[in-house]
């Protein structure tokens, strides 16, 4: 059942974007999160989306994530 559901999501993504799954995957794999640590502070930040990635998310009606996932600063 899980494999069928995953395949359905792949086909929906392909039909909504007009791209093949390998092209979608190749483009979105370039989107990362970086961890920056200084003393006891920690910041988790996403890489900037390029135009192709933004277009894919827009066509799939997925809201792009905020630039910073988490900021931990000890008080």
Reply yes or no on whether the pLDDT at 7 is more than 90. Answer: yes
Q: How confident is the model at residue 75 (pLDDT cuts 50, 70, 90)?
A: confident
Residue pLDDT, tens place only, 13-37: 999 999 999 999 999 999 999 999 9
Best CA proximity match to 70, nearest among 37, 49, 42: 42
Range of the structural domain that residue 60 is part of = 2-72
Residue 10 CB-density burial (10 A; 0-12 exposed, 13-18 middle, 19+ buried): middle
Q: Hey, CA dihedral for 15, 19, 23, 28, is it positive or negative?
A: negative
Q: Count of domains in the chain?
A: 1
Mean pLDDT of the chain: 95
């Amino acid at each position: 059942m899980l494999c069928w559901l995953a395949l359905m999501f792949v086909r929906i993504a392909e039909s909504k974007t007009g791209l093949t799954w390998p092209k979608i995957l190749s483009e979105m794999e370039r989107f990362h999160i970086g961890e920056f640590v200084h003393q006891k502070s920690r910041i988790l930040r996403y890489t900037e989306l390029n135009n192709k990635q933004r277009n894919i998310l827009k066509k799939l009606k997925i809201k792009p994530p905020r630039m910073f996932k988490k900021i931990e600063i000890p008080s």
